Amino acid sequence: MNSRRFFLKKLSLLTFAGTASSHALSASSCKKKLTPSQSLGPFYPDNLKIEKDADLTQLKGHQKKAKGQLVKVSGIVQDQFCNPIEDAIVEVWQACYSGRYNHPSDTSKEKLDPNFQYYAMMKTDLKGEYSFKTIRPGAYKASLNWMRPPHIHYKVSLRGYKTLITQLYFNGDKLNEEDGILNSLSLKEKKLVIVDFKKDNQGVLSGKFIITLKKN
């Protein structure tokens, strides 16, 4: 009886060790490249006491919706070992359909959209997931010879991790090829911030942006 107990105990220890080593191997083989940082830009909201839910396409109390092509963005915030990060704060801000920001520093003569939210803040769930609804932002002139492609600004933060400021770009947009900010990244880094969007039968674009943070 004692020898049988010893055998079962030894077997359970071996099984545990095997499982632990497989988990360790899985974690080590799951290293992800950190999402590259990009400039904050001059249009980060100067007033955060504004509506900031995850639907930028319609303001509370407004019957009309924002102009532009509807876009649904989802994603995961994780560390470099693929562990999901819960309660990370994800902030996004962007231009409206005309390419203008709702910010005093934007002196563009393009029209603002009174029905567009321009900014959102959300937290990741237990699985590190987040999502929001918006419109495809318009391109705009950054200088006489430079048109910025459609992009969405991100700021992702949580205590214990290095705050990330970056930008999401739309795959296939021709202006990507000429953008100085995007092309300051390496080819591999660019692939991490350029997102594939697919259009459904109703014309809605859906894409997934995975963000990888570094621990402090």
Q: Is 101 a catalytic site residue? A: yes
Distance, in Å, from the CA atom of 102 to the CA atom of 125, rounded to the nearest integer, reads: 29
Sheet of 164-170, strand order: 119-123, 89-93, 151-157, 164-170, 194-195
Catalytic residue, chosen from 101, 118, 119, 130, is 101
Catalytic residue, chosen from 130, 151, 154, 169, is 151
CB 123 within 8 A of CB 90: yes
Q: Is 151 a catalytic site residue? A: yes
> What is the DSSP pairing of strand 151-157 with strand 89-93?
antiparallel
Strand partners, 198: 206
Catalytic residue, chosen from 100, 103, 136, 153, is 153
Strand partners, 135: 70
The b/e string for 145-168 (b: 16+ C-beta within 10 A; e otherwise) is eeebbbbbbbbbebeebeebbbbb
H/E segment holding residue 20: helix 2-28
Catalytic residue, chosen from 97, 119, 130, 140, is 140
Catalytic residues: 101, 140, 148, 151, 153
